[in-house]
Amino acid sequence: MTPKKFRFPLQKLLNLRQFAEDRARVELGKAVSEVERINQDLHGNAEKRAALSRFPVVSGQGQPSEAVHVGTLLSVERYAARLDAERERLLEDLAAAETVAESKRKAYVECAKNVKILENLKEKKLSDWRKERADEQDNETDDIVNSN
């Protein structure tokens, strides 16, 4: 008698859920990398702002005898305002990106949970199948021994 091969009846569903899990993992990776990019932009903005505050005219370190052109002061002031506006925009973008990343994380966890449930069921079915096969082989062996 040829042993029957193990077949998991929900294999197609398991494959589909594994595909969805992989896709969710990729989407989560994209969302996390977007959060990282925004954090890097914020860090760059902070470095530029710190460098600007070390500028002699802005930090008040200029000598009284030094003449500062009004245009330079206005340019520095506009640049500082632009950096501040960019920082605010980046903070808003970061909040939105973190919200997206959290929703992607929840979706991934749900997909992973669904896959794990089916994998556990498959393992249980495989274990039961192996036990049945072992019992069948024991019965066949007993029949052969008893027939002699």
Q: Is the Cα dihedral 36, 37, 42, 47 positive or negative? A: positive
Q: What CA–CA distance (Å, rounded) separates 97 from 58? A: 34
pLDDT digits (tens, 9 = 90+) for 56-71: 665 555 554 456 678 8
pLDDT digits (tens, 9 = 90+) for 3-45: 789 999 999 999 999 999 999 999 999 999 999 999 999 999 9
Please tell me the pTM assigned to this model. Answer: 0.75
92-130, pLDDT tens digit by residue? Answer: 999 999 999 999 999 999 999 999 999 999 999 999 999
Other Cβ atoms within 10 Å of 110 Cβ, number: 13
Distance separating alpha carbons of residues 2 and 125, to the nearest angstrom = 20
Residue with tokens 């005219």: 57
CA-to-CA distance for 90 and 98, rounded, in angstroms? 12
Tell which wins on pLDDT, 47 or 143: 47
The DSSP call for residue 74 is H
Place of tokens 């914020």: 42
